[in-house]
């Protein structure tokens, strides 16, 4: 069940240049939200008709937090929101991650802005979990994962920080066999991690993005090619309703 409401900004800070963390007071949304779900946040300038989908980064009793990068008109406007400003929001939306059976060896794989959406998931895991974080350059939010007491490995493409390489390299170097992979990040990364998972026969859940209008599953704007086992051909499922989390094996990657 999702809600549409006007929420007050409780906290808002720029965590690294161009990337903001915003906490919204939205008890109705927080109540039922699960890791991997997202909200639709409406830009204050009404010339922008469409809400922007942003994944939940953490969920508390009364509030939800998302982390976003300023990329265009909508996120630019969000970055101007002040504490106590009101903003229209709808959520929680989408399926979220399916939590594994206890005892599964979880591997969380995040790249760039795909990292924050994995934090709430990581909070649900207390053991048997390795977190692999890939950055282009300087890292952010790594300490949020470390603080959970999980095993965290970091890679950066620039080599400025942690391992000089990608999360795929980190995956290759895993010492334990992975039982389930949870991945969020650029499509390219999700594709290669899914290929790796397929090759190693590890089930994988990936969180995808696509442009959205309704966010509810009604407009069919946000198609992703999915071919389920046993089906003869792919068909478009909806990122907003059938996802954003899909089984990596079922995604038809080659576009």
Ligand X SMILES: Cc1cc2nc3c(=O)[nH]c(=O)nc-3n(C[C@H](O)[C@H](O)[C@H](O)COP(=O)(O)OP(=O)(O)OC[C@H]3O[C@@H](n4cnc5c(N)ncnc54)[C@H](O)[C@@H]3O)c2cc1C
Ligand Y SMILES: Cc1cc2nc3c(=O)[nH]c(=O)nc-3n(C[C@H](O)[C@H](O)[C@H](O)COP(=O)(O)O)c2cc1C
User: What is the separation, in whole angstroms, between the first and last Cα of the chain?
Assistant: 33
CA distance 116 to 96: 14
Backbone φ/ψ region at 226: left (φ over 0), alpha (ψ -120 to 50), beta? beta
Phi and psi torsions of 243, nearest 5°: -120, -150
CA distance 220 to 82: 34
217 touching ligand FES, by CB under 6 A: yes
Q: Looking at 49-57, 154-162, 168-176, 189-197, which segment touches other proteins (CB under 8 A)?
A: 49-57
Q: Looking at 10-18, 44-52, 93-101, 243-251, which segment touches a second copy (CB under 8 A)?
A: 44-52
- DSSP character for 161? S
214 touching ligand FES, by CB under 6 A: yes
3-state helix, strand, coil split of the chain in percent (to 5) is: 20, 35, 45
Nearer to other proteins, 162 or 217 (CB): 217
47 touching a second copy, by CB under 8 A: yes
Helix intervals (H) in 33-149:
73-79, 119-123, 142-146
Nearer to ligand X, 12 or 52 (CB): 52
| Minimum separation from the CB atom of position 46 to a second copy (A) | 6
Strand-pairing partners, residue 118, are none
Which 145-204 residues touch ligand FES, going by CB under 6 A?
A: none
Q: Looking at 11-19, 90-98, 104-112, 216-224, which segment touches ligand FES (CB under 6 A)?
A: 216-224
| Minimum separation from the CB atom of position 134 to other proteins (A) | 23
219 touching ligand Y, by CB under 6 A: yes
* Partner from a second copy, ligand X, other proteins, none binding residue 68, C-beta < 5-8 Å depending on class: ligand X
* Partner from ligand Y, ligand FES, a second copy, none binding residue 252, C-beta < 5-8 Å depending on class: none
Cα angle 185-214-50, degrees, rounded to a multiple of 5: 80
- DSSP character for 99? P
Cα–Cα distances in angstroms (integers) from residue 92 to residues 29, 56, 66, 84, in the given order: 6, 8, 12, 21
Q: Looking at 6-14, 137-145, 147-155, 214-222, which segment touches other proteins (CB under 8 A)?
A: 214-222
Among 218, 228, 231, 252, binds other proteins (CB under 8 A): 218
* Partner from ligand Y, ligand FES, other proteins, none binding residue 4, C-beta < 5-8 Å depending on class: other proteins
Cα angle 111-224-1, degrees, rounded to a multiple of 5: 85
Q: Looking at 78-86, 98-106, 213-221, 223-231, which segment touches ligand Y (CB under 6 A)?
A: 213-221
Instruction: Catalog residues that contact ligand FES under the rule CB under 6 A.
Output: 212-215, 217-222, 238, 240-241
Instruction: Catalog residues that contact a second copy under the rule CB under 8 A.
Output: 45-47
């Amino acid at each position: 069940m999702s809600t549409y409401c006007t929420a007050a900004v409780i906290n808002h800070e720029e965590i690294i240049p161009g990337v903001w963390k915003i906490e919204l007071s939205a008890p109705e949304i927080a109540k039922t939200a699960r890791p991997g779900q997202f909200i639709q946040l409406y830009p204050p300038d009404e010339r922008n008709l469409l809400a922007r989908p942003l994944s939940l980064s953490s969920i508390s009793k009364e509030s939800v937090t998302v982390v976003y990068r300023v990329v265009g008109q909508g996120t630019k406007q969000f970055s101007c929101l002040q504490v106590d400003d009101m903003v229209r929001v709808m959520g929680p939306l989408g399926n979220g991650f399916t939590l594994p059976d206890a005892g599964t060896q979880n591997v969380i794989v995040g790249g760039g802005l795909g990292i924050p959406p994995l934090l709430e998931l990581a909070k649900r895991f207390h053991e048997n979990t390795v977190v692999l974080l890939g950055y282009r350059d300087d890292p952010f939010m790594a300490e949020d994962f470390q603080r959970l007491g999980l095993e965290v490995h970091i890679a950066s493409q620039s080599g400025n920080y942690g391992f000089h390489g990608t999360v795929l390299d980190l995956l290759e170097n895993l010492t334990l066999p992975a039982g389930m992979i949870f991945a969020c990040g650029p499509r390219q990364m999700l594709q290669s991690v899914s290929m790796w998972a397929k090759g190693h026969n590890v089930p994988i859940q990936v969180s995808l993005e696509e442009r959205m209008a309704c966010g509810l599953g009604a407009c069919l704007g946000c198609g992703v090619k999915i071919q389920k086992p046993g089906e003869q051909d792919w068909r478009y499922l909806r990122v907003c309703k059938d996802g954003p989390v899909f089984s990596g094996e079922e995604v038809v990657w080659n576009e």
